[in-house]
Structure 1
Amino acid sequence: MSDARTLALLGGEPAISRPLPHEVWPPPASEEELAALAAQRNLDISIKGSSGPIAELERDFLDFLENRVRWAVTFNSGTSALLAAYFALGVREGTEVIGPALTYHAALSPVHVLRGDVVLADIDIRTRGVDPRAVEEAITERTRVLTVVHQWGHPCDMDALLDIADRYGLKVLEDCSHAHGSRYKGRPCGTFGDAAVFSLQANKAVFAGEGGILVTDDAEVHDRATLLGHYRDRSRDRVVDEELRRFWVTGFGLKLRMSPFNALVARHSLAAFPARREARHQCLHYLNARLRDVPYLEPVHVADEVDMGAWYGFKPLYRPEALHGLPRAVLIEALRAEGMEVSAPSGPRLATLPLYSDADSPLFPGAPRRAAAPEEGSVAEHVERHALSLPTFTNWPEDKALIDEYVEAFRKVGRESAALAAHAARR
């Protein structure tokens, strides 16, 4: 008979009883959403301008941001929206964009398409976003844009970053792909910069399947971003500047618009967001509080002046010195054996990826570029090597019992860490 006190990896009974997966996302569609999608199929499957569910989504999203910005423009992905934003903010060959050393690559990858250079700055251990001190050290005479990624839902130190941008004349782009509903000092993320982009990819709290939305309060940014990804109807009807509107037939050569089906999915997801956000907060604040009693984990820091919005994952840090120096991979193996859905976060430091680190650009061979070099001993490296990725629990109070089992699994591994260390040493 198996022993509940013995690690499951060593033949004991797992601490977690519920079968995997524990995070099922996106949730199933409602009957109302499915009916709307079916009706749209026979109404119009290709919207060329800003009308129907496209216009409704853009209006709803401005309401979601408390109408603190004037324009919202949908795109077929968050990456496309970021490309349009960088173009609209003036990124060209010879310009530099400063962004965080550890984030999802698409936050900065479009800069390479525009032949700009990416300069990576270290992150803040508390916010996991770009560190204002590192930003100021990275600025050169070629810096034009500061990209602020609200990583894993925690807002960056916007007061300090906006002060730096103002003093050095930089444009600020907020990547809010993890930060739907997040707030900094009561104000919605996405309303601080010259432009902001929200991904609506299927894993996001507000999802379209594939999609993105750019928001801005700047007419020129709106016009240039629109023309990069939209031609004909929308550019003719929505571009403000008469000189730029001359390009309405062709735009600037690309078609990056959203499908009306994706817009319908996003509208229903946005309408359901407040209840889902509240449930996530109940789940993850409860989990975070309970993990304070696990010595080898550093719970997620949540500053007093912020709201985590959708959270987008739960990423505590592992303290190996408190667990016999066991490698993170061994810890993850033991936790998985206990029935936990856990992994290392999937995004490596950007400087380790060839698009950023190779001296020769794969897009423009022979063109001069500034290659990124990984910095040993950085905060970004520390987080990359020590973070754990847990489910973004969304069902409260149904998930409370499961969260309690997760905490017990962590404690069990802690209690039996000597046996785990001996097992690892024998292998």
Structure 2
Amino acid sequence: MSPLNPAGADARGIGTTGRTDARETEPTDRANARGTTASPGPPHPLEWPVYDDGVAARVAELVTLGRTFDYDYGPELAELERSFAERHGRAHALALTSGTAGLLAAYFALGIGPGDEVIVPDLTFFSTASPLFLLGAVPVLCDAGDASGNVAAADVEALVTSRTVAIVVTHLWGHSCDMDALRAVADRRGLALVEDCSHAHGSTFRSRPVGSMGDISVFSVGGRKLISGGMGGMLLTDSEDVFARACLLTNFRHRTDLTIDAVRYKPFLLTGLGGNFRISTPGAVLAQSHLDRLDELVERRVANMSALAAGLGELPGVRPSPVAEGVTMGAWYDGVVEVTPECPFSRDGLVVAGQERGLKVRAPATRPLHVFPLFQGTAPDWSPQVAAAVRAASAVNDRPFPRSTELFARWMKLPVNFLWEPNSPLVGAYLDAFDDAFSMARTA
């Protein structure tokens, strides 16, 4: 019996699911680099996203009928936008090809342009900030404020200048930022507040859903997100004007004819403004199937991740990411734990120890933005406007980011995308494997 899992193997129900990924039998890259052979490890189910037979049949029917696109405003698109807006208490929803397209549309709709400064987290996926360069705007990076990796309102306010027009926050790993404090800063300084909710499907802050508190909120609904249409994004807002501008950037008739009411935009409904960022009809159906089950999916993931993180927290020097009072975790994206100096392993050493036992652990892919060339003043020679914005961003961000740097160096990503089954047997298997690694370290 593992001291990390006192219920024992029988209570965990460790066994195969009958659905394994062929990649599970391959040695890990890290093990190969060390010249060792990785253990096959515990059996893993298919990696998320996973769809049931009913939605697969519905998508197959769309393909058979040739309804793989929607130039109008068909029932699949309308249903997805309506249900997304209702769940988050928003007046308008706009489904797009990706979360990145949603962020570009959000910044455009707010009128952000050349020379404007926008405060963004240093710890976030680069698409939170990179669309700003296309508009000639300057992302100003904010260091992490606490162990969650999120920005703190006081740090954000300290970066406000006369050129600042907006604040963008990412609810990192699914943990909501302190939206009341950030809303107060935005209101006090007359700034727009944008939520990047791509990690945070189903998360709440003081009983309010993440995505309901900014002037605009954007979700990714693609890739391995908890709501996934394969590729997709969603923009939410209560502003009719913001919605119209975002829709004009990303669509043209007939979608614009059917959903933009503002008279001043009537002359432009035929052409839009040059973008064509429509989600596909099958993508909308796939995303809807997850949205309809979101509460169930969140419950499973939170239960599995809470058990795994708590068990790992019993190991010396392994610290689960804190969850603040008033916050509930939703997708628990990447599911990181912090490997502190008290651990007998470095973060990378613990990753290798896990990979050698067939575990799907690694450093997070989301790293601090300040390490990328694009945020250090290097830009392709494509556009004078982009180049000027990149140079300005390099100058304003020429400072240390100690908290972001430290946290990223200590975080280990857990296999959250495999923890979608109820009472996942992977929880106990991973705890046993790490217990073995630490036991060997103690006796070495």
Q: State the TM-score, normalized to the length of structure 2.
A: 0.86
Point out where structure 1 has 5 or more consecutive residues left out of the alignment.
1-8, 421-427
Shift in CA distance, 217/377, structure 1 to aligned 2, threshold 3 Å: closer
Q: State yes or no: 1:357 paired with 2:376.
A: yes
> Who is 1:63 aligned against?
86
> Who is 2:351 aligned against?
332
> Who is 1:288 aligned against?
309
Residues of 2 paired with 1:394 and 1:327: CA distance?
29
> Who is 2:10 aligned against?
none
Check the 8 A contact 2:316/2:342 in 1, yes or no: no
Residues of 2 paired with 1:293 and 1:13: CA distance?
28
> Who is 2:62 aligned against?
40
> Who is 1:258 aligned against?
279
1:330-352 deviations in Å (ceiling 9; x for gaps): 22111211222110011221111
* 1:23 to partner: Cα distance: 6.4
Residues of 2 paired with 1:236 and 1:150: CA distance?
34
> Who is 2:8 aligned against?
none
Q: State yes or no: 1:312 paired with 2:333.
A: yes
2:336 counterpart SS class: coil
> Who is 2:364 aligned against?
345
Residue in structure 1 matching 2:426, options 402, 419, 424: 402
Residues of 2 paired with 1:336 and 1:144: CA distance?
45
Supply the AA of the counterpart residue of 1:379.
Answer: R
Shift in CA distance, 106/164, structure 1 to aligned 2, threshold 3 Å: same
Residues of 2 paired with 1:96 and 1:140: CA distance?
8
1:146 counterpart SS class: strand
Q: State yes or no: 1:415 paired with 2:444.
A: no
Check the 8 A contact 1:360/1:367 in 2, yes or no: no
Check the 8 A contact 2:199/2:332 in 1, yes or no: yes
Residues of 2 paired with 1:90 and 1:220: CA distance?
11
Q: State yes or no: 1:390 paired with 2:409.
A: no
* 1:108 to partner: Cα distance: 1.2
Shift in CA distance, 318/39, structure 1 to aligned 2, threshold 3 Å: same
* 1:11 to partner: Cα distance: 13
Residues of 1 paired with 2:107 and 2:325: CA distance?
32
2:119 counterpart SS class: strand
* 1:403 to partner: Cα distance: 1.4
Percent sequence identity over aligned pairs:
34
Supply the AA of the counterpart residue of 2:366.
Answer: G
Residues of 1 paired with 2:53 and 2:347: CA distance?
43
> Who is 1:425 aligned against?
none
Shift in CA distance, 103/12, structure 1 to aligned 2, threshold 3 Å: closer
1:246 counterpart SS class: helix
Check the 8 A contact 2:174/2:331 in 1, yes or no: yes
1:79 counterpart SS class: helix
> Who is 2:184 aligned against?
163
What is the CA RMSD across the aligned residues, in angstroms? 2.3
Shift in CA distance, 319/126, structure 1 to aligned 2, threshold 3 Å: closer
* 1:359 to partner: Cα distance: 5.2
Check the 8 A contact 1:103/1:347 in 2, yes or no: yes
Residue in structure 2 matching 1:271, options 292, 300, 303: 292
Q: How does 1:91-240 map to 2 (within 5 A)?
A: 91-240=112-261
> Who is 1:52 aligned against?
75
Point out where structure 2 has 5 or more consecutive residues left out of the alignment.
1-30
Between 1:174-183 and 1:331-340, the stretch displaced more is 331-340
* 1:417 to partner: Cα distance: 2.6
Check the 8 A contact 1:78/1:200 in 2, yes or no: yes
Q: How does 1:20-35 map to 2 (within 5 A)?
A: 21=44, 24-27=47-50, 29-35=51-57
Count how many residue pairs are aligned between Structure 1 and Structure 2: 404
Shift in CA distance, 416/356, structure 1 to aligned 2, threshold 3 Å: same
Residues of 2 paired with 1:12 and 1:46: CA distance?
48
Shift in CA distance, 377/408, structure 1 to aligned 2, threshold 3 Å: farther
Residues of 1 paired with 2:195 and 2:164: CA distance?
16
Check the 8 A contact 2:195/2:214 in 1, yes or no: yes
Check the 8 A contact 1:97/1:144 in 2, yes or no: yes
Check the 8 A contact 2:147/2:407 in 1, yes or no: no
Q: State yes or no: 1:75 paired with 2:88.
A: no
Residues of 1 paired with 2:92 and 2:36: CA distance?
57
* 1:140 to partner: Cα distance: 0.7
Shift in CA distance, 23/347, structure 1 to aligned 2, threshold 3 Å: farther
1:296-340 deviations in Å (ceiling 9; x for gaps): 1111211120111111121001113432xx432222111211222
Check the 8 A contact 2:103/2:131 in 1, yes or no: yes
Residues of 2 paired with 1:50 and 1:151: CA distance?
33
Shift in CA distance, 117/410, structure 1 to aligned 2, threshold 3 Å: same
* 1:289 to partner: Cα distance: 2.1
1:99 counterpart SS class: strand
1:228-259 deviations in Å (ceiling 9; x for gaps): 00111121222132112221011111111111
Between 1:211-220 and 1:45-54, the stretch displaced more is 45-54
1:416 counterpart SS class: helix
Supply the AA of the counterpart residue of 2:319.
Answer: E
Residues of 1 paired with 2:284 and 2:296: CA distance?
20
Q: State the TM-score, normalized to the length of structure 1.
A: 0.89
Shift in CA distance, 360/300, structure 1 to aligned 2, threshold 3 Å: closer
Check the 8 A contact 1:359/1:371 in 2, yes or no: no
Shift in CA distance, 374/209, structure 1 to aligned 2, threshold 3 Å: farther
